[in-house]
A and B are shown apart, each in its own frame.
Chain A
Amino acid sequence: MSYLPYAVAAWICLVGIAGIATSRNLIHLAICLTVTQSSSYVLLLSVGYVKHGKAPIFKGIKLGTTAVDPVVQALTLTDIVVSVTVVALILALALDAHRLSGTVDPDGLADIKG
C-alpha cells in the first residue's frame, strides 16, 4: 500500500498518453494532456509526503511540528501554471486549425499546408 500514490501517478500518466494518442478531437486532446500533466502533481506531492506530517503552514500549529515538504508544493504550483498556459495555447491552435481546415480531428489536419 505504501507505493499506491506513485502507482496512481504512473497510471494517470499512462491513461493520459493513451487518450492523447487515440484522440479524435483536439479539445479532447488538450484535456488528455492536462490529465497526463496532473500525474506530475500527484507524484510531486507524494514524494514530499512525510508520515503523519501536517501542512507546512505554521499558523495555529507549533513551529517544529512534523510537516510535509513545502518545496514540492511550490513546484506543483509552478506545474499547474505551466499546464494552464500550455492548454491555453493548444486551444488557441485548435481554433486556428478549425478555421483553416474546418475540423478538430487531428487526423483531418494532414492536408494543411504551411
Chain B
Amino acid sequence: MSRRVRIGILTPTLLALGALFAWAIAGLPAFGDYRGPYGLVLNRVVVPLRHTTNVVMGTTFDVRGVDTMGEEFILYAAVVGVTLLLRDEVRSRQAERRTQRLRSDAVRLLGIVMIGGGLLVGLWLVSFGYITPGGGFQGGVLLAGAVLLLYVVGNHRDYGPLRRQHALDPLEALGAGGYVVIGLAALASGTAFLTNLFGHGKAGTLLSGGSIPILNWASGIAVSVAMLLLFAEFLETYVVPLEPEDSGS
C-alpha cells in the first residue's frame, strides 16, 4: 500500500474514530463524579483488613495478586522473546564498533552521584512500597536504571559483569518463581492460591501486610532484573564486547 493511499484511508478513519470517542465521552459521567463501588470499598477495607497503608499496592499484591503474577510473567516472556530474537544478531556483529571511554569528569561525577542516589531511592521505593507511594515495580525500574547509569558514566565494560546473563538468570528466577512459591505456600496450607498468609502486623510499619512485602520484593527483583536483561540484550547488539586480550585501560 502506497503512502498516499494509506494517508487517504487514515484521515477519514481518524475522523470517524474521533467522532466515536466524542460520542463515548459525552455519555461518561463528568470528571470527578466517580460511580464505581470498588474503589470506595477498597479504600475503606484494605487498611483495616491487611494493614497496608498504600491501598494501590494492597490491591496489586493482594486483592488482584493473581493478575500481578500474570503481569510478572508477561515481563518474563518479553525478556525471553527479546533474547530469542536477538540471539543471532549478537554473534554476527562481533568487533564492529568500539565505544570510547567517557572523558568528561563532570558527567562522570554527576553520574556516580546519581547511581548512588538512584540505588538508594530505588531500594526505598521497593522496601516501603506498601506503606508510602512506591512499590516493587516502580522501585525495580529505578534500581535497573541506576545500574544502567554505569554504562553512561563508565564504558560498557563496567557493565560487563552484569551482561553475563547467566549471572542474572537465577535472580530473575527468584523474582518470578518466588511469587509463585508464595502462592503455592498458601495452597499447601489449605487455603486458596495466593491467600495472604502471615500476620498482618502493625499498619504503617515495614512489618505489615502479611505476604504483601514478600510479593513486593519478589516483583521488585523480577522487574529490575528483567529490565537489566532487556538492556543487556540491546547493548550487546550495539556495543561489541572487546576481546579479553585487548582490554587495555
Report A's interface with B, CB cutoff 8 A.
2-7, 10, 13-14, 17-18, 21-22, 46-53, 55-59, 63-64, 67-74, 77-78, 80-82, 84-86, 88-89, 91-93, 95-96, 99, 107
Contact = CB atoms under 8 A, between A and B. Distances in A.
Given A22-B10, A67-B55, A69-B38, 9 more contacts: A7-B25, A48-B36, A51-B32, A58-B55, A70-B43, A73-B59, A92-B82, A95-B237, A107-B3
Contacts of A70: 39, 42-43, 46, 55-56, 58-59
Interface in B75-114: 75, 77-78, 81-82, 85-86, 88-89, 92
Contact of B77 (A4, A58, A85): A85
A113 B77 CA distance: 26
Interface stretch (B131-139, B147-155, B168-176, B178-186): B131-139
11 contacts: A3-B28, A5-B31, A18-B10, A18-B14, A21-B10, A22-B7, A58-B47, A67-B43, A81-B137, A95-B234, A96-B86
A59 B31 contact: no
Contacts of A13: 21
B196 interface: no
Contact of B89 (A46, A96, A107): A96
Nearest to B229: A88
For A49, A69, A91, the residue with the greatest tally of chain B CB atoms inside 10 Å of its CB is A69
Contacts, number: 164
The DSSP consensus for interface residues of chain B is helix
A92 B81 contact: yes
B59 A71 contact: yes
A90 B131 CA distance: 35
Nearest to A21: B10
B44 interface: yes
B55 A88 contact: no
Contacts of A58: 43, 47, 53, 55
B167 interface: no
B89 A95 contact: yes
Interface in B1-24: 3, 6-7, 10, 14, 17-18, 21-22
Given A59-B132, A69-B38, A17 B17 contact: yes
B36 to A, nearest CB: 6
Contacts of A74: 56, 59-60, 64
B30 interface: yes
Given A49-B32, A49-B34, A77 B60 contact: yes
A82 B46 CA distance: 26
A81 B18 contact: no
B204 interface: yes
B48 interface: yes
B78 A89 contact: yes
Top-7 shortest CB links A-B: A69-B39, A85-B78, A51-B32, A10-B21, A2-B30, A56-B55, A59-B53
Contacts of B60: 74, 77
B85 A71 contact: no
A88 B18 contact: no
B234 A57 contact: no
Given A68-B39, A70-B59, A74-B60, A57 B85 contact: no
